[in-house]
Structure 1
Amino acid sequence: MIYAFDTYYYEDYANTVCIAFEDWTSEKEVEVFTEQTPVGSAYESGAFYKRELPCIVSLLDKITLKHEDIIVVDGYVTLDNEGKIGLGGHLYEALKEKFPVVGIAKNEFTTPDSQRRTVFRGESKTPLFVTAIGMSVDEVQLKVEQMHGTYRMPTLLKKLDQLSRA
């Protein structure tokens, strides 16, 4: 199973949503999990994970993961070639490195990262940026290219974004 997470912030709470789907080419989700939590900290430039990680971990506590499951976050796993990690890397550590974590970001992080791949989907000239830990980023790049949908954003990730804002 693949579990994709996104969080949207309102004035006094965060809405975290997880869509579970069977494989990378799935058109529909199997299950949706949601949770509203108080906003624990303000946005801190360069430390986005401090705000979002607690929301994801809290919702993950309600999900029984199996050894073969994969987690997808809206953001980055790695940030540069010097070992700096993003939200996905911190989540991987919080999960004691037991589950692969994939980061799919809409906005480019400017520092060079040999573990970052660009994915062009549909006819879009704007890429998605893919990073991963616990599995091959090259494999993930191919999987993201094959995800359902004809536009830049795969169908289920677009739905996830919409649900988190609802």
Structure 2
Amino acid sequence: MILAFDTHYFEDKAKTVAIQFEHWTDEFPSHVYEETLEGIQPYESGSFYKRELPCILSLLKQMDLTKIDAIIVDGFVVLDDEGSLGLGGYLYEALDQKIPVIGVAKNNFAKIKTLKIPILRGDSQKPLYITAKGMNLQQAAAHIQEMHGEYRFPTLLKEVDRLGRE
């Protein structure tokens, strides 16, 4: 199974949603998980992972980790070409480097030159930026490229974002 996560914040709460799907080309999720946590730390510039990682790890407790083939997060896995960890990298480490993590970012991060791949989907001329740990970067980009949807953002990644905002 493949999981895609997104977290939305309001007041001191965070709603984390994960959608599960079986194949990269799936149009619909096979299962949706969600959890709202209270007492969330405020945003700390340069340490975004401190806010979101606990939310993802908490929701992962509802799942059988041995059945997960890959996890997609909104954002970066690495922050520079030296491999400094972003949210996805910290998640990969927290999972004992056993589950590949792919980061899909909507905006470029200039510090990364070689450890990211920009991809264009649909008719969009604005790329998505792919980073990964535990999986070949070219393969990770190909997986996101092949996901269902004719627009810039894959259907299931739009759906996990929508569910988080509800």
TM range (shorter): over 0.9
The answer on whether the counterparts of 2:12 and 2:41 sit within 8 Å (CA) in structure 1 is no
Check whether the contact 1:79–1:113 (CA below 8 A) recurs between aligned residues. no
**What is the number of residues matched between the two proteins?**
166
C-alpha separation in 2, matches of 1:61 and 1:113: 35
Distance 1:82 1:68 in 2: 27
2: distance between equivalents of 1:39 and 1:59? 16
Corresponding residue for residue 147 of structure 2: 147
Unaligned ranges ≥5, structure 2 = none
Matches within 5 A, 1:102-121: 102-121=102-121
Using the TM superposition, give the Cα deviation of residue 67 of structure 1 relative to its aligned residue in structure 2, in angstroms.
Answer: 5.4
* Alpha-carbon distance, 1:75 to partner: 0.8
1:129-148 alignment, distance < 5 Å: 129-148=129-148
CA distance in 2 between counterparts of 1:55 and 1:76 reads 16
Query: What is the 5 A alignment of 1:1-166?
Result: 1-66=1-66, 69-166=69-166
TM (norm. structure 1) is 0.96
Question: Offset at 1:162?
Answer: 0.4
Cα distance in 2 for partners of 1:150, 1:57 equals 31
Structure-2-length-normalised TM-score? 0.96
**1:74 maps to amino acid:** D
> Mean alpha-carbon deviation: is it higher for 16-25 or for 61-70?
61-70
C-alpha distance in structure 2 between counterparts of 1:68 and 1:13, whole Å:
27
| Alpha-carbon contact 2:77-2:101 (below 8 Å) kept | yes
Is the contact between residue 78 and residue 115 of structure 2 (CA under 8 Å) also seen in structure 1?
A: yes
Instruction: Please give the root-mean-square deviation of Cα atoms over the aligned residues, in Å.
Output: 1.1
CA distance in 1, matches of 2:20, 2:67: 15
Letter matched to residue 16 of structure 2: T
CA shift at 1:115, angstroms?
Answer: 1.5
CA distance in 2, matches of 1:129, 1:141: 9
Moved beyond 3 Å, runs of 4+: none
Task: Quote the sequence identity (%).
Answer: 52
